[in-house]
């Protein structure tokens, strides 16, 4: 995995940005802060309600998972907790007893039936409401509203020689992959969507993705 990170640092995409690229990044950051700030205020009542429901089983409200961000820097990606306490042990036991699930997990890093997910967690995931806390990641400059989905250290291997492209931008709450099928597409196709976004990224593309996101969330297309 260290070799993948070295490859990312060797890529010039994020090191030698020109004037227009720098100006575009500054505008994108301004847009992120303004919109995220507005969302934080508007969604505050919903945030409190969800937090109360998640806390009913006595576990923590938020789940912080280490993801790989821009320049391959790790950060704590926030979500509402959607899994039972002791989820990792539950997963390993389930995979041990179900070979088909092991194959599915290896291919997609996701399960069609996941025994770790709580009832409220299933609803939060299907509506993408579990990702509301990532607004704080945006305000902290660890994520953007639009970009590739933040990946784990293990998932970085799927990008192979394209790690540098992924690491050239901030990961996003939503992105081209999310509005193009989400979990209905293979991981290799997800990588292609991320590469396409990096190559064609612009404020106009970000706005198009942002405007398409509510409809995709509402339809629950590709949701878990």
How do residues 64-100 score in pLDDT, each as one tens digit? Answer: 999 999 999 999 999 999 998 888 889 899 888 888 8
Length of the chain: 224
Residue 109 domain-assigned (yes or no): no
Residues 10-15, mean pLDDT to the nearest whole number: 47
CB atoms within 10 A of CB 100: 10
In a domain, 179, yes or no: yes
- Looking at residue 187, its pLDDT comes to 83
Domain that holds residue 174: 2-82+117-219
Residue by residue, DSSP assigns 57-71 as GSS-SEEEEEEE-GG
- The pLDDT > 90 percentage for the chain reads 54
Residue 88: both structure tokens together = 């990792």
Residue 10 has pLDDT above 50, yes or no: no
**Residue 184 falls within a domain, yes or no?**
yes
Question: Are the C-beta atoms of 216 and 178 separated by less than 8 Å?
Answer: yes
Q: Are strands 172-174 and 144-146 parallel, antiparallel or unpaired?
A: parallel
Q: What is the per-residue pLDDT across 104-145, written as a single tens digit (0 to 9) for each?
A: 887 777 888 888 889 999 999 989 999 999 999 999 999 999
What's the pTM? 0.82
pLDDT digit string, tens, across residues 172-206: 999 999 898 766 778 888 899 999 999 999 999 99
State residue 80 phi and psi, 5-degree precision.
-70, 140
Number of domains in the chain: 1
- The residues near 19 (Cβ < 8 Å, ≥ 6 apart) are none
């Amino acid at each position: 995995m260290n070799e993948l990170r070295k490859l990312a640092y060797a890529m010039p995409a994020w090191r030698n940005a020109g004037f227009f690229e720098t100006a575009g990044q500054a505008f994108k950051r301004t847009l992120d802060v303004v919109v995220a700030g507005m969302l934080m205020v508007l969604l505050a009542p919903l945030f409190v309600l969800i937090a109360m429901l998640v806390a009913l089983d006595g576990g923590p409200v938020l789940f912080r998972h280490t993801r790989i961000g821009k320049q391959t820097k790790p950060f704590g990606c926030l979500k509402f907790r959607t899994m039972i306490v002791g989820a990792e042990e539950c997963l390993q036991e389930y995979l041990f007893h179900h070979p088909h699930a092991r194959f599915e997990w290896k291919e997609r890093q996701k399960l069609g039936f996941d025994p770790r997910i709580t009832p409220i967690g299933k609803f939060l995931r299907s509506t993408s409401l579990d990702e509301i806390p990532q607004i704080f990641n945006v305000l902290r400059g660890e994520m953007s509203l639009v970009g590739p989905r933040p990946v784990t250290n293990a998932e970085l291997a799927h990008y192979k020689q394209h790690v540098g492209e992924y690491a050239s931008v901030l990961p996003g709450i939503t992105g081209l992959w999310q509005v193009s099928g989400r979990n209905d597409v293979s991981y290799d196709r997800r990588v292609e969507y991320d590469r396409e976004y990096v190559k064609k990224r612009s404020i106009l593309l970000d706005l198009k993705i942002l405007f398409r996101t509510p409809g995709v969330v509402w339809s629950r297309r590709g949701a878990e």
